[in-house]
Chains A and B, each alone.
Chain A
């Protein structure tokens, strides 16, 4: 039951991701779609947070270290009530708090400025340590891109985290999730700089490591449970994902790393995400006024 609810929310968020990227005319669909099941599970199945009090000191923190996937984060923040969903289409426009990459000072709910890859894990270590030092029960979730882990700073943090704060304040309040979609910007990760063996690498740095399907909400929940039960060390979760997940023509294609869908492509993608056949689409839209409105808005955008 709970899983079906989260899956439904993730579908809605995927629709919003395509919608906002089409309106922005630029941005990163592939890595947004690969991480959205993880973010949905965190925000609607796990986090202790309150959209009305984004600066509540005891809130759990999410650091989206792969900041270019911020459309996914905006879609869950809007769904959770941090700001109106209508604001999503101001993404990347002059004056919008929805910056092209996360800006902590522009939008309540963003915990750290990211977008320069490789920095989020160190900030997460600092957050986790600071929360421990002040006796807070809050937890920290850091999401890394697979290509991102080629950055040296990631490995400085990786080496540090299992030891930092010990023995009195071990960082067992920190969970790091690797969005292992096998693609970076220029090409497939194996063609640029292979990460394998990922699991033994992180293990050898002292991390308990779990391996899951990052699109299986049941598995994500279980991994988060297990991480929460782990004492004395932070947890590393390798989430196998598909870049562009949910939109057939974007899936597993490096071209869709950083290219916005045209309005017609966004509509085709939305139809696929909702699982409606082409023939049944017009009839379906008569039954779903919210999607109808998004589609009409995209059609109007296409005419501009």
Chain B
């Protein structure tokens, strides 16, 4: 499979699922060309609603639709959907409305547009809400399974997608399950837990580490809420060291979730890699290098963490 953006895989999945299930509707806020629901709208014009640049209204309308049995996918850039936090908090989470919130253009990986368009705190925000799960697929295969799962899943979900292309990382026979992680590579010196685009970078980093005699286990944590406690404890119980890697603020994301869990069940040093401070404009490569999220940066942080 060639590399593909998870937003593109999402758009394709919706087309297929929408043909089989007419409960599925899409809602957009003037970004349907970017969130990739645009083709769904062409194929099912009566089930696609572009509400204009009005994200709060979009989230609320989605909640109402969900209460009548529709399965609404409410889509915008991650920062703009989750930016309507208080509406999500009451109309979606507290109401327990079966809304699928979709945040595309997550992370500094969007590059040149700069901080105002980067979803960098979305995981932290949604993670604090009861009822809503958070899933971030790492490649095309996984995205399509996640979207199919989201349709079946009863209850609100936040799906975090990328603008940039993602290299395939999951094996062809992989089956996504909510609350389950996927060990992509076995190792015994350190556990690398990543989500989204950085999963591939961790696999590359693991190769670099191997040539330095460090054996890294790499886990794809597509499910950020709920965490896969079992896989987490099994892996870090073996390696004794954990490094989390995500294209999200260093505060409150996957790293925060892992650290909180381990602090209670298996205290150990945790190294969190992510975005420090605000994001900024730049090319993806340059930004990933600056924040140490590229393979060499991850490998260097791991070595430092292991005192090697």
Give chain A's interface residues, CB within 8 Å of chain B: 24-27, 67, 92-96, 98-101, 103, 113-118, 147-148, 150-152, 184-187, 192-193
Contact = CB atoms under 8 A, between A and B. Distances in A.
Interface stretch (B8-16, B110-118, B231-239): B110-118
B204 interface: no
B281 A114 contact: no
A115 B83 CA distance: 13
Interface residues of B, number: 32
A94 B286 CA distance: 7
B53 A99 contact: no
B116 A27 contact: no
A258 B50 CA distance: 18
Interface string B270-289: 00000000001111001100
Contacts of A184: 30, 52-53
B281 A147 contact: no
B56 interface: yes
Interface of B: 28, 30-34, 38, 50-57, 79-80, 83, 111-117, 280-283, 286-287, 290
Contacts of B112: 24-27, 92, 100
B53 A103 contact: no
The 3 tightest CB contacts between A and B, nearest first, are: A115-B116, A94-B282, A193-B52
Contact of A116 (B28, B30, B80, B111): B80
26 contacts: A92-B112, A93-B281, A93-B282, A94-B280, A94-B290, A96-B281, A100-B112, A100-B281, A103-B114, A103-B115, A113-B116, A117-B53, A118-B53, A147-B30, A147-B53, A150-B30, A151-B54, A152-B57, A185-B30, A185-B31, A186-B28, A186-B30, A186-B32, A192-B52, A193-B51, A193-B52
A95 B53 contact: no
From A24, A92, A94, A187, residue with most partner B Cβ within 10 Å: A94
B72 to A, nearest CB: 18
Nearest to A147: B53
Contacts of B286: 94
Contacts of B30: 147, 150, 184-186, 192
Given A113-B116, A186-B31, A147 B282 contact: no
B211 to A, nearest CB: 29
A135 to B, nearest CB: 33
A94 B52 contact: no
Given A93-B281, A116-B79, A150-B53, A185 B33 contact: yes
A27 B115 CA distance: 14
A193 B281 contact: no
B54 A150 contact: yes
Contacts of A187: 50
Contacts of A192: 30, 50, 52
Contacts of B117: 100-101, 115
Nearest to B56: A152
Contacts of B53: 117-118, 147-148, 150-151, 184-185
A275 B289 CA distance: 44
A101 to B, nearest CB: 4
Given A94-B287, A100-B114, A114-B116, 5 more contacts: A92-B112, A93-B283, A94-B281, A96-B281, A151-B54
Contact of A67 (B33, B116, B283, B287): B116
B152 to A, nearest CB: 29
B50 A186 contact: yes
A185 B54 CA distance: 13
Nearest to B77: A116
Contacts of B57: 152
A228 to B, nearest CB: 30
B116 A116 contact: yes
